[in-house]
Amino acid sequence: MMRPQFRWSHERRRVLTALVLAALALVVVQVVACTSRSGSGASKAPPPSTLTGPAAIPLRQLAARRHLEIGTAVDDVALTSEADYRTVLADQFSLIQPENAMKWDATESQPGHFDFSGGDRVVAVARQHGQAVMGGPLVWYFQDPPWVDGGNFSRDQAIAALWDHIHGLVGHYRGVVRSWIVVNEALDDGGGSYRDNVWLRSIGPDYIAIAFRFAHEADPAAKLYLNDFDVQMPGPKTDRMIQMALGLKAQGVPILGLGSQFHVFRGITSIDFSKVSLQMRQVADAGLDYAVTEWDMGVALPATPSDLARQGRLAEDLLRACVTAPRCPAFIVWGFTDRHSWIPSQTPGYGAATPYDEQLRPKPAWAGLAAALRAPG
C-alpha cells in the first residue's frame, strides 16, 4: 500500500533535517580539529562543547532538560588508551555502563577472587565527569567463568555463590554505582519459559528473586532492573516479563523496572513506534520503569547514506518515545562509536551501528538523538 503523501513529506523533511544537522556537525568538527592541529600541534579534537551552531549542545545537556539520562556502554580499555574517546564520552553522555568490565567473567574469574580493575576505571571516569554508572549484569547465562558455567552446584552452594558474587561486587560499588542490571535474559527467545542457566538448574526460578534481594542488601539505595531483548513491543515475551516483575514486587522484591535492550538487527526494516509507546505506557501503568538499555542498529557494510539516514530516523523515533513516556528514565546506546562496537565481530558484514563513526564524527543517528531531545512535548 502507498504511504499517504503528507507522511512521505514529513519523513523527507526529517531525513533532510537529520542529514543537514549531521553534515553541519561533521564540518564543524573537522574545521575545529584542523585548526587545533595546525595551531598548537595537538592532534586531539577539542571537546564538542567549544563548537557553535546546532552541534554545539551536547546530548547530555539536552537530556538533562528532559530529566533523562543519556547513556552509553563503554569499553574500559579504550577509556585508558584513547583520549578522543574519553573526550566525546565525557562531553556527550550523562550515564555510562561498562560493556564487559562488571560481568562475572571479568570480576570473579576464580571463586572469591575479585578483580575490580576494569570497573574501577569506569567509575573513576564517571566521577571525574559527573556521570551516573549502571553496572552489571550481575546474573546472566553468558560470559560466566568456567567454574560458574560448569558448576555442579547444590541449591545451597549456588545460593552461596550468588551471595558472594553479588555482595562482593555491589558491596564494592555501594553508593557509587547508582543502578544495576540484576538479571539479564532470564526468559528464552519466545518468552514461553525461563532460559536455561546454571542458577535455574541448581536453585530454580527463585534465583531471580534471590539475586534482587542480595543486590538490595548490598546497596539498599541502588536501582535494580530486570533486562532482556525482544521486550520492546506488546507480545508474549513482554507480557511474561511484566508478570514476572509484578510477581517479584508482590513478594516484596525490590525491583524498580525493566530494561529493554533494543538491538535492531538485519531484517527489521521498520518499527511501529506507536506500539513501543504503548508498551512503555503499559509498563509504567504496572508501576515499573522502562529503560532503553542497549540501543544500536547494525546495517550491512558498507553503510550507504540512506542506511545511515534510516538509522537516524529510528534513533530519533525511539528516543522520542522514551522522552514522552511516563517512566523512561534512561536511554543507553550500546557503544557510542563504530570504532568499538560488538556488531562487526559477532555479525560479520554488519556494523556502523552507533551514533559516531570510527573517527568520532557524529552521524545522522547523533542528529536523530539530538532532535528527539529538542522536540517539543
CB 261 to ligand G3I: min, Å? 5
Q: Which residue in the list 69, 82, 108, 185 is annotated as catalytic?
A: 185
Q: Which is nearer to ligand G3I, 294 or 317 (CB)?
A: 294
Least CB distance to ligand G3I at residue 223 (A): 18
Q: Which of 352, 280, 359, 361 is nearest to 319 (CA)?
A: 280
Q: Taking the CB of residue 52, how many other CB atoms lie within 10 A of it?
A: 8
Tally of residues, the chain: 377
Closer CB to ligand G3I, 26 or 342, in the complex: 342
Considering the complex, state which of residue 36 and residue 143 has its C-beta at the smaller distance from ligand G3I. 143
In the complex, least distance from residue 181 CB atom to ligand G3I, rounded to whole angstroms: 8
Question: Which residue in 225, 318, 201 sits closest to 268, CA to CA?
Answer: 318
Which residue in the shown chain puts its C-beta closest to ligand G3I? 342
The Cα angle at residue 262 between residues 247 and 21, in degrees rounded to 5: 140
Nearer to ligand G3I, 58 or 98 (CB): 98
- Asked if 108 is an active-site residue, the reply is no
Binding site for ligand G3I (CB under 6 A): 99-100, 142-143, 184, 261, 294, 342
User: Burial code of 72-109, b = ≥16 C-beta within 10 A, e = fewer?
Assistant: bbbbbebbeebebbbbbbbbbbbbbbbbbbbbbbbbbe
Q: What's the closest the beta carbon of residue 143 comes to ligand G3I, in angstroms?
A: 5
Q: Please tell me what DSSP assigns to residue 358.
A: T
Active-site position among 82, 99, 108, 294: 294
Find the shortest distance in angstroms from Cβ 2 to ligand G3I.
Answer: 37
Contact 148, 198 (CB under 8 A): yes
Smaller CB separation from ligand G3I, 134 or 309 = 134
Q: Which residue has the cell 526494516?
A: 269
Residues 38 and 350: their CA atoms lie apart, in Å, by 36
Q: Is 99 a catalytic residue?
A: no
Residue 188: CB atoms within 10 Å: 13
Residues with a catalytic annotation lie at 185, 294
